[in-house]
Amino acid sequence: MAKLSVNVDHVATLRQARHTPFPDPVEAAWMAEEAGASGITVHLRMDRRHIQDADVERLRESVRGKLNLEMSISAEMLKAAVRLRPHQVTLVPERPEEVTTEGGLNLIFYGRRIAEVAEQLAAAGIAVSLFIDPDPRQLQALSSLPGGGARWIEGFEINTDAFTRATDPAQVKDELAKIQEVAGIGKDKGLKVYAGHGLRTSNVGPVAAIPNIEELNIGHAIVARSVMVGIEGAVKEMLAAMNGG
């Protein structure tokens, strides 16, 4: 079964709404791991709307599994990642106006910059992953990154947003097939394959059942559900839904 990395960004969102010390995303991360999560994901945004640098520092010291830091390819974020040293960085596109990440990285247009950032992260001992749409052309672009940049990339996360938004059964089937295809190509290339975005207990099963996907990154659905049942209960419900797939 695919592992579960819990994104605790929106625990910090609630904290920042009142600028109080609580709820603490580090405590939430500890509870998530106690409930069965294999790792923790956070997105350090340019505007610091939720997770703060100090949160990442504390998480790096306390997370028992893998700490995955999502960030843009900006110079500021690269500097922060090298200083904070998470286990893994997942490079994602970022716009100041967006509510959440709106799509995958365009490796075709931004390949040179992505390769430069990946090389510097790898030199700092940080594993590098890329958030991409389920499009074989993006994997081809990954293999052809300038300067042999592909050698710095350990894996990629498939953007499952289109799958989670699909309502027509034929469209759901088509979007799932795209994820399966890209996961298979990635595995054949020797890359670690992850997936996430918009997944919840009602739709996670088919994605979790794809053999080549080794980890799912899920945040909003778990944090939202935790308001009702607590973080440990929400994580256990998600793991059960993944296992049911």
Nearest to 147 by CA among 126, 118, 185: 118
> In this predicted structure, what is the pLDDT of residue 98?
62
* C-beta atoms surrounding 10 within 10 Å: 21
Tens digits of per-residue pLDDT, 165-185? 999 999 999 999 999 999 999
Take residue 127 and report the two structure tokens written for it: 């594993």
Ordered domains of the chain (ranges, CATH):
3-244 (3.20.20.70)
User: Three-state secondary structure along the chain?
Assistant: CCEEEEECHHHHHHHHHHCCCCCCHHHHHHHHHHCCCCEEEEECCCCCCCCCHHHHHHHHHHCCCEEEEEECCCHHHHHHHHHHCCCEEEECCCCCCCCCCCCCCCHHHHHHHHHHHHHHHHHCCCEEEEEECCCHHHHHHHHCCHHHHHHHCCEEEEECHHHHHCCCHHHHHHHHHHHHHHHHHHHHCCCEEEEECCCCCCCHHHHHCCCCCCEEEECHHHHHHHHHHHHHHHHHHHHHHHHHC
> In this predicted structure, what is the pLDDT of residue 1?
82
Taking only the tens of pLDDT, the chain with its 245 residues reads: 899 999 999 999 999 999 999 999 999 999 999 999 999 999 999 999 999 999 999 999 999 999 999 999 999 999 999 999 999 999 999 777 666 776 899 999 999 999 999 999 999 999 999 999 999 999 999 999 988 999 999 999 999 999 999 999 999 999 999 999 999 999 999 999 999 999 999 999 999 999 999 999 999 999 999 999 999 999 999 999 999 85
> In this predicted structure, what is the pLDDT of residue 189?
95
* Cα distance between residue 56 and residue 113, in whole Å: 24
Adjacent-strand bridge partners of 194: 157, 215
> In this predicted structure, what is the pLDDT of residue 200?
98
pTM above 0.85, yes or no: yes
Tens digits of per-residue pLDDT, 101-127? 768 999 999 999 999 999 999 999 999
> In this predicted structure, what is the pLDDT of residue 101?
72
Residues annotated catalytic, as ranges: 43, 70, 197
